[in-house]
């Protein structure tokens, strides 16, 4: 049963990663719906708001309900969101579709990694998690890469084809989730109202446990930045007058690099501490924002693609760190709390990026993010971790 579940989960993640419309989504908004980058980023802010509202409740639901049922519901809402976006002809409809996709992401976030860990834990193979989650995460990014190449070319033939293919694989993911089975795991009986129960877990993650709070803060900075880098690529390429047929290929290159980072990243974990790894990744993000804004050009494209590497390598590392320090009863909720913090940070940053891009161009917008996320956020997070390290032995980041 366990091996079957792991394989089905890998297929599921591959299918959910096959978003053919992703490399041309900004173009789809422009050409099909008639909306600009500003409206798109406002929609992304709405997406992030829904994730904020739903992230922890859906993580809590996954902990007290069945994780497989959460994935089934995630597949349904995902297919519904893309169907609505396909039919959209106004900002209101597109905005609603992005919000529905936010519900899907919330249901899936934390649940997929928690389900993998629970499967391995049931067979006392939890030490394999970092390797298997890295491969699973890498597989998802490989799927994004392949879908991006096809989506970019198919868009030139007919803008509707990438969207229809995305809807099709979403329905295939739904079928895959129906065949999964729930492993035996610890469930904690509620002692309070569900909202109070969730708040207890959030308070533990963000205040009561210094190690978990530190890693959540750092991962929020990293993954907010990588998301901004990804969405900034399409207007960046437009500013460089790169043919739109290349968008899918370029995005695919980044996701292949990210997939390799996830797939083989566990080898680096053996040789470097978490503090070294995370500080290096944050420094790389700062460099990407700074250089892409200061000296824009074709030579910066490889640097932009490294944003996917940070995401591909960093996400399994962070989840493995958290999984080793929490029980199955709270695992999905705490991982969802980490994702919640990314969404909280993304909303003001995305709105700022869209406003600056409209008034001063995408290059200046990237420089603004360098100042906010690279300097203020990164420095503040490292200071907090260093203070925790001095005050309590519990907060030492492990090797």
Is residue 83, in this structure, part of any structural domain at all? yes
- Average pLDDT estimate for 85-89: 94
- Average pLDDT estimate for 245-267: 80
Number of domain units in the chain: 1
Per-residue pLDDT at 73? 93
Per-residue pLDDT at 154? 92
Residues 6+ apart with CB under 8 A from 251: 22, 23, 144, 145, 148, 152, 230, 233
Per-residue pLDDT at 397? 34
Task: Note the pTM of the prediction, 2 decimals.
Answer: 0.66
Residue span of the structural domain in which 144 resides: 2-177+193-395
Comparing 331 with 181, which gets the higher pLDDT? 181
Res 192 pLDDT > 70:
no
Name the least confident of 96-100, 111-115, 187-191, 212-216. Answer: 187-191
62 phi/psi in degrees, rounded to 5: -65, -35
Is 251 exposed, middle or buried (CB count within 10 Å of its CB: 0-12, 13-18, 19+)? Answer: buried
- Average pLDDT estimate for 346-369: 87
Residue with tokens 């992703």: 22
Is residue 37, in this structure, part of any structural domain at all? yes
- Would you say 195 and 333 are in contact if contact means Cβ atoms under 8 Å apart? no
DSSP notation for 325-346 = TS-TTTHHHHHHHHHHHHHHHH
H-run or E-run covering 59: helix 37-64
Residues 6+ apart with CB under 8 A from 187: 63, 64, 328, 329
Name the least confident of 130-134, 228-232, 326-330. Answer: 326-330
pLDDT digits 0-9 by tens, 143-177: 988 898 899 889 989 999 999 999 999 999 999 99
- Average pLDDT estimate for 368-376: 75
Per-residue pLDDT at 145? 86
- Residue 268's pLDDT band, with cuts at 50, 70 and 90, is confident
What is the gyration radius of the CA atoms in the chain, in angstroms?
20
- Residue 299's pLDDT band, with cuts at 50, 70 and 90, is very high
Per-residue pLDDT at 217? 76
Q: Which two tokens stand for residue 368?
A: 């603004």
Per-residue pLDDT at 395? 36
Q: How many angstroms separate the CA atoms of 44 and 95, rounded?
A: 8
Name the least confident of 198-202, 247-251, 271-275. Answer: 198-202
Res 78 pLDDT > 70:
yes
Q: What residue spans of 158-300 are helical by DSSP H? A: 160-178, 194-203, 210-239, 247-269, 274-294
* CATH number reported for the structural domain that contains residue 129 in this entry: 1.20.1250.20
- Between CA 327 and CA 244, with CA 139 as vertex, the angle to 5 degrees is 130
Is residue 256, in this structure, part of any structural domain at all? yes
- Would you say 293 and 367 are in contact if contact means Cβ atoms under 8 Å apart? yes
H-run or E-run covering 124: none
Per-residue pLDDT at 165? 96
Is residue 81, in this structure, part of any structural domain at all? yes
- Residue 200's pLDDT band, with cuts at 50, 70 and 90, is low
Is residue 183, in this structure, part of any structural domain at all? no
């Amino acid at each position: 049963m366990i091996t079957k579940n792991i394989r089905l989960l890998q297929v599921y993640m591959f299918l959910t990663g096959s978003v053919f419309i992703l490399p041309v989504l900004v173009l789809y908004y422009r050409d099909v719906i008639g909306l600009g980058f500003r409206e798109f980023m406002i929609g992304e802010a709405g997406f992030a708001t829904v994730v904020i509202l739903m992230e922890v409740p859906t993580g809590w639901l996954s902990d007290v309900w069945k994780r497989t049922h959460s994935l089934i519901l995630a597949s349904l809402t995902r297919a519904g969101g893309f169907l609505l976006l396909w039919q959209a002809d106004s900002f209101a409809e597109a905005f609603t579709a992005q919000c529905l996709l936010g519900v899907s992401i919330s249901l899936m976030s934390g649940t997929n990694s928690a389900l993998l860990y629970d499967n391995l834990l049931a067979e006392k193979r939890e030490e394999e998690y970092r390797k298997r989650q890295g491969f699973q995460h890498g597989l998802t990014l490989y799927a994004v890469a392949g879908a991006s190449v096809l989506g970019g070319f198919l868009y030139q033939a007919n803008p509707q084809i990438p969207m229809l293919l995305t809807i099709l694989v979403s329905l295939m993911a739904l079928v895959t989730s129906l065949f999964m089975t729930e492993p035996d795991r610890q469930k904690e009986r509620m002692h309070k109202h569900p909202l109070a129960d969730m708040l207890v877990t959030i308070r533990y993650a963000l205040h009561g446990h210094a190690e978990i709070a530190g890693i959540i803060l750092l991962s929020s900075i990293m993954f907010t930045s990588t998301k901004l880098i990804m969405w900034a690529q399409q207007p960046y390429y437009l500013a460089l007058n790169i043919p739109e047929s290349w968008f899918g290929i370029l995005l695919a290159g980044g996701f292949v690099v990210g997939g390799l980072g996830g797939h083989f990243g566990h080898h680096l974990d053996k040789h470097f501490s978490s503090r070294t790894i995370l500080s290096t990744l944050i420094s790389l993000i700062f460099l990407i924002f700074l250089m892409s804004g200061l000296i824009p050009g074709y030579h910066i494209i490889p640097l932009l693609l490294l944003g996917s590497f940070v995401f591909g390598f960093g996400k399994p590392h962070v989840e493995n760190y958290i999984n080793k320090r929490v029980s199955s009863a709270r695992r999905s909720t705490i991982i969802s709390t980490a994702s919640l913090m990314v969404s909280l940070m993304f909303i003001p940053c995305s709105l700022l990026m869209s406003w600056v891009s409209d008034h001063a161009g995408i290059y200046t917008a990237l420089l603004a993010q360098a100042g906010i996320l690279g300097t203020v956020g990164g420095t503040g997070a490292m200071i907090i971790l260093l203070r925790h390290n001095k005050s309590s032995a519990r907060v030492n980041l492990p090797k």
